[in-house]
Amino acid sequence: MLDFGDDLRTIADTLGIDKMAVIGLSGGGPYTLATAAAMPDRVVAAGVLGGVAPMVGPDAISSPLMQLGAAVAPILEVAGAPIRLAASGLIRLIRPVASPALEIYARISPEGDRRMLSRPEFKAMFLDDLLNGSRKQLAAPFYDIVVFERDWGFRLDEVKVPVRWWHGDHDHIVPFAHGQHVVSRLPDAVMTELPYESHLGGLGCAEEIMGTMITMWDKASTA
């Protein structure tokens, strides 16, 4: 995981970016923290929305979903390619009915996510992610499952960059307690609880989040 931060350093060097703020949603949370740990000299602030917690090592916390991931990860390492191919084929089959299928999923989702999925612009983005993101045979999310079941390569107390964390208290995918757990172990972190929101709640307050990150950037720039 820490290698991701080193990779991003190379990209930043190529683009001529000296300072940056980084934000990650859900499975992007670990990569955001890895970047902050790898580049404390360049990352001035980090934001995480409903981020995943470590599953192994001294910072680990467990949940039924993470236990499922631990069981699936070894299978994906051995037979990931054919499983990804089959999953991509299934998505292509449901493409004509993707919109009503998403509406059915929304009906069984927690209220917060149901509210987000009812917004036309968000629904369109979600469908685009699902249908067009599968063209690479879902390699990225499958790889994430494998990576998350490994040691991240850094400890949470090594992340010295200021972190702001937003998490829905009704999150049914990454439990709210996991966000509290990570924030309690980060040296400089503040948790913002999103009342009655689920896993997609952070996307509904994007303007507030971006405003917070800009304020953190300004503060770091004038320090």
Q: Using one digit for the tens of pLDDT, what is the confidence trace for 127-180?
A: 887 777 655 546 666 667 677 778 889 999 999 999 999 999 999 889 999 999
Distance CA 32, CA 5 (A): 8
The residue that leads in pLDDT, 107 or 25, is 25
Please, which pLDDT band fits residue 69 given cuts at 50, 70 and 90? low
Please, which pLDDT band fits residue 192 given cuts at 50, 70 and 90? very high
57 Cα distance to chain centroid: 19
Segment 206-212 mean pLDDT: 92
Model confidence at 219: pLDDT above 70:
yes
Q: What is the predicted pLDDT for the residue at 147?
A: 75
Q: What is the predicted pLDDT for the residue at 215?
A: 93
Contact 164, 47 (CB under 8 A): yes
Distance CA 179, CA 2 (A): 20
Model confidence at 75: pLDDT above 70:
no
Q: What is the predicted pLDDT for the residue at 129?
A: 74
Segment 76-84 mean pLDDT: 54
120: number of CA atoms within 13 Å, CB side? 0
Strand partners, 22: 46
